[in-house]
Structure 1
Amino acid sequence: MLLFLYGYGDNGEPNPLEDQGVSRWAVTKIWSSSKGGADDKMARQNTSRSLEEAQGTPSGFNMTRELIRLNPGIFSALPREFLPNYKNPCWFEKVNETDVGSQLRDRLVDNGTGHFRLRCLPYFYIIGMPKCGTTDLYYRITEHPDVVGGPKEPHWWAKNRRHLLGDGSPSTIWCNNRWRKQQWDTPNNEPPILVADLLRAVQPHAKFILTLRNPTERLYSEYLFFSGGFRDKKSVTDFHERATLAIDIFQSCLKNNTVRSCTYDPNLPPTRTVRLRLGLYEVYLRDWLSVFPRDQILVQRLEDHSKDPHTTMTRVFKFLDLGPITNQSDKDAIFMSNAKRSQKKRYDSIGQMLPKTRRMLNKFYRPYNQRLAELLNDTDYLWLEKSSV
């Protein structure tokens, strides 16, 4: 059974879950007794009702109802039920005959009443964090014979509501800036809606993989990776100055706001290429665990993956319920290939961060690492060992 990570859209390209002139309830019309616009409306109402019942709250505020109001294009695109025998949530969608080109026709199903395309939501998401090995992890997963891959980072849920593919976007867990434009007027300046809430309403049974690393090392790796328009001016001294400024800005925010508010606040003065808040893993993960059960989120460390990719990938495939790998070339690609996007050349040209910078960042992150270790009941997330990544 193939695990699809994407569906094809018009012209054979990946297509978003937004109305583009295609009948969104084609499956209902063809495979059931539904007829006409009245049944289209009923189908939408039934979908909304089932989603609302899933997330009603004793206080009377219904998260899913609010999400449907804010994102009608997403929820109106979903069928009342998905196809059986697929790990992904999949359905057939009727394509207007005028949109059927020669390239797209070969990818469609014709049952005599029209042309249909297979649409699928991702079965799993790699939700973070940036510079924690998400690219290496994603491409190892797509080497599995049961997985059909695609471009890694559409950032569809967090940023770009365009094409929806198999999702390895490390922005999914932390970036909630989109809601600032729609609904973020709260007394404590904390986000009332998370990307996790929207995903829960759309895919309550999705699986999520979160890979983390020592936040001090993550920050420096990100500084080396992103150009920010001044790559030739980067130095260990420049990084120290930017990290110091980022800490000062965050600590100033904490004088009048909660940790959660400062972690998510998109209006804090930016510090280019030094995104300090992305290392506050406990804040983001605790929020996601308030939305999804623990057994739907696999958390692992880049340090462990770098030392023993065979063990970590075996754990990932078990989590995703994927079958055994028998072909030797597949085994080599998954368990033995070199990591994608290694930073070794950049470390060699600029050097390791200054000892005083490391001490400063370790001190800043220490209480957040302690809370993360308590949340996961695992002292490895204190990152007391010397990093070898």
Structure 2
Amino acid sequence: MSLPHRKHGSKEHTYSRHWLPLSTSCGKTPERTLFDFRLWVTNLRSVSKGKVVSFLMGLTLMFLIMASHILTWDRKGLFLTSPPYQRVRAGAVPNSTGAAEDLWENVRINMKLLVKIIGSKLEYTPRKVPEEKDVIGTNSRLFSAIPRHFLPGVKSPCWYQEFSGELGTDPYKGNQYAVRTKSFEAVCGLLRADFHKHLHPRGGKLFRLRCLPFFYIVGQPKCGTTDLFYRLRLHPEVKFNTIKEPHWWTRKRFGYIRFKDGYQENFPLEDYLDLFDLAAHNIEKGISGNSSGDHRTLITGEASASTMWDNQAWSYLHKEEPEPPFLAQDVIHTVQPGAKIIIMLRDPVERLYSDYLYFKMANKSTEDFHQKVVESVQLFQSCLSERSLRSCAYNTSLSNAMPVRLNLGMYVVFLLDWLTVFHSEQILVLRLEDYAANLQMTINKVLFRSKGRQRCTNGPNPTPGGGQTGSWDVCFQPPVSSSGNFTNPSTINWPACCTTKTSTGATPDGPLACTRM
């Protein structure tokens, strides 16, 4: 039964019997119905306004509760039904078995299309590796500060660097890592206490031992790199490493801490090298013979999980390039061709979900994760329609637009690019699944690969100051380079320094044992 529309606020309440549906067989029923209706209206007027308001509020609350139950109902379908190359939007919950089957069919069609597109892009064309001179040209100061050769007889890549500061001054004052990391600030406090003891005079100048990482755990995020790094630190030869993730090669040397925060301040090379001073001081004890053990075998390392994939800084510097012209591995290889690379991977779907749980701050749910993956897949699919697979994997704009970091699971792209500069024997690839299933075997594999063969451990201890004995006398000459680094390769007799004779006259390590590490 419906009433005619009347103007709001009208106080006229005149009713006539033709408002109600009447039947010729009803007799006097219409008269009684009209009377009952007028009685109901009279009773309604007697109800207080407070009760009416309470009734309406209760009705509204009941409606909201019912609506919330409907909206949070367990949805078992996938809402991947929008056309390719378009921004996805949330779909409707299928209300029948047939609709659900159609939805799943659309999902399969979309995924088949995506797989087909990716498959067409997988004809891997090796990237054009930049010339060494071009890599050096990107940061000439970096390459002038690090020598072309490192100290023989020391496992980690170390050299003596001229100390330009004044005695008594704080060498770690203003270190950007110490300012932002309390744990490293505490380490700096220990290093300051006996810093002067690790300075060596030579030719009227003071020198300090500096080291780069011997190994790099380069990725991927949420694949167990943190657990691996801290387990390795339990080993006596690895325990002197401090910060796990400096992110220097990919971000902080360019002045970025988090790209979303924009440019902040460049972290100089000296700040990065300071991270390995604790290890360098202990290595120096082994070089000078002031330790009970052979500290020359100590290993430096770091585990920035961004090193394998993150080249966003190049996108900001070279916005016109479809792909980054220089990758982090180009710079690391030019500085340190013998570096040991460790890569940890896991099922890319599980990696993505773990990444979502870690970086998503609130309102986490499987439905929300699924919807974000759907949007990211379609954005990536749209990129593939116009660009190469590598270009999309490194595309900063696409990465920023995707709600989840889908591109980090493109392991094949990143790994093949690392293999363009590093030999496969220098790269150890681990799976988190194997690591979890057999921890001891995996750790032993890492230690065997990381520690490697000891090189040039025989002979007198090389120090930049004091008397030298034996064959080491011909190994060290005063530095002639402007950088002040005490490893001038042009004046070092490498075979005389590094080969050792056996009783048969053979040279077990050979002259190549002292090539640059």
TM-score normalised by structure 1 residue count: 0.63
The answer for unaligned runs of 5 or more in structure 1 is 1-59, 324-389
Matched to 1:76, the amino acid is S
Matched to 1:276, the amino acid is L
Contact 2:215 2:342 in 1 (8 A): yes
Alignment partner of 1:70 is 2:160 = no
How many angstroms does 1:108 deviate by?
2.4
Correspondences of 1:272-291 after superposition (within 5 Å)? 274-291=404-421
Match of 1:241 among 371, 375, 379: 371
Q: Which residue of 2 aligns with 1:215?
A: 348
Match of 2:385 among 255, 265, 269: 255
Q: Which residue of 1 aligns with 2:252?
A: 160
Alignment partner of 1:116 is 2:207 = yes
Q: Which residue of 1 aligns with 2:229?
A: 138
Q: Which residue of 2 aligns with 1:55?
A: none
Matched to 1:78, the amino acid is I
User: Which SS does the other structure have where 1:261 is aligned?
Assistant: helix
Correspondences of 1:23-172 after superposition (within 5 Å)? 63-98=131-166, 100-101=168-169, 103=192, 105-106=195-196, 108-111=198-201, 113-147=204-238, 148-161=240-253, 162=267, 163-164=271-272, 165=275, 166-172=301-307
Q: Which residue of 2 aligns with 1:15?
A: none
Distance of aligned partners of 1:278 and 1:105 in 2 relative to their CA distance in 1, 3 Å threshold: same
Matched to 1:152, the amino acid is K
Q: Which residue of 2 aligns with 1:192?
A: 325
Match of 1:298 among 399, 406, 428: 428
Q: Which residue of 2 aligns with 1:57?
A: none
Q: Which residue of 1 aligns with 2:93?
A: none
Distance of aligned partners of 1:232 and 1:182 in 2 relative to their CA distance in 1, 3 Å threshold: closer
How many angstroms does 1:265 deviate by?
0.6
Cα distance in structure 1, aligned partners of 2:162 and 2:326: 33
Distance of aligned partners of 1:234 and 1:83 in 2 relative to their CA distance in 1, 3 Å threshold: same
How many angstroms does 1:100 deviate by?
4.1
Distance of aligned partners of 1:272 and 1:182 in 2 relative to their CA distance in 1, 3 Å threshold: closer
Greater C-alpha Rg: 2
Question: Paired residues, what number?
Answer: 260
Q: Which moved more, 1:113-122 or 1:274-283?
A: 113-122
Contact 2:167 2:196 in 1 (8 A): no
Cα distance in structure 2, aligned partners of 1:317 and 1:223: 31
Please report the RMSD computed on the Cα atoms of aligned residues, expressed in angstroms: 2.3
Matched to 1:279, the amino acid is G
TM-score normalised by structure 2 residue count: 0.48
User: Which SS does the other structure have where 2:344 is aligned?
Assistant: strand
User: Which SS does the other structure have where 2:362 is aligned?
Assistant: helix
Alignment partner of 1:182 is 2:317 = yes
Contact 1:75 1:202 in 2 (8 A): yes
Distance of aligned partners of 1:255 and 1:99 in 2 relative to their CA distance in 1, 3 Å threshold: farther
Cα distance in structure 2, aligned partners of 1:107 and 1:200: 33
Contact 1:97 1:115 in 2 (8 A): no
Deviations for 1:187-224, whole angstroms, at most 9, x for unmatched residues?
A: xx122221111111111000000000000000000111
Contact 1:70 1:182 in 2 (8 A): no
Matched to 1:215, the amino acid is P
Cα distance in structure 2, aligned partners of 1:122 and 1:61: 23
User: Which SS does the other structure have where 2:380 is aligned?
Assistant: helix
Distance of aligned partners of 1:286 and 1:77 in 2 relative to their CA distance in 1, 3 Å threshold: same
Matched to 2:379, the amino acid is I
Contact 2:148 2:335 in 1 (8 A): no
User: Which SS does the other structure have where 1:298 is aligned?
Assistant: strand
User: Which SS does the other structure have where 1:118 is aligned?
Assistant: strand
Contact 2:129 2:420 in 1 (8 A): no
How many angstroms does 1:156 deviate by?
0.7
How many angstroms does 1:183 deviate by?
3.9
Deviations for 1:321-370, whole angstroms, at most 9, x for unmatched residues?
A: 269xxxxxxxxxxxxxxxxxxxxxxxxxxxxxxxxxxxxxxxxxxxxxxx
Report the identity percentage.
44
How many angstroms does 1:184 deviate by?
5.8
Cα distance in structure 2, aligned partners of 1:261 and 1:192: 11
Matched to 1:155, the amino acid is H
Cα distance in structure 1, aligned partners of 2:206 and 2:242: 24
Matched to 2:158, the amino acid is C
Contact 2:379 2:402 in 1 (8 A): no
Q: Which residue of 2 aligns with 1:345?
A: none
The answer for unaligned runs of 5 or more in structure 2 is 1-127, 171-191, 254-266, 276-300, 454-517
Distance of aligned partners of 1:276 and 1:107 in 2 relative to their CA distance in 1, 3 Å threshold: farther
How many angstroms does 1:272 deviate by?
6.5
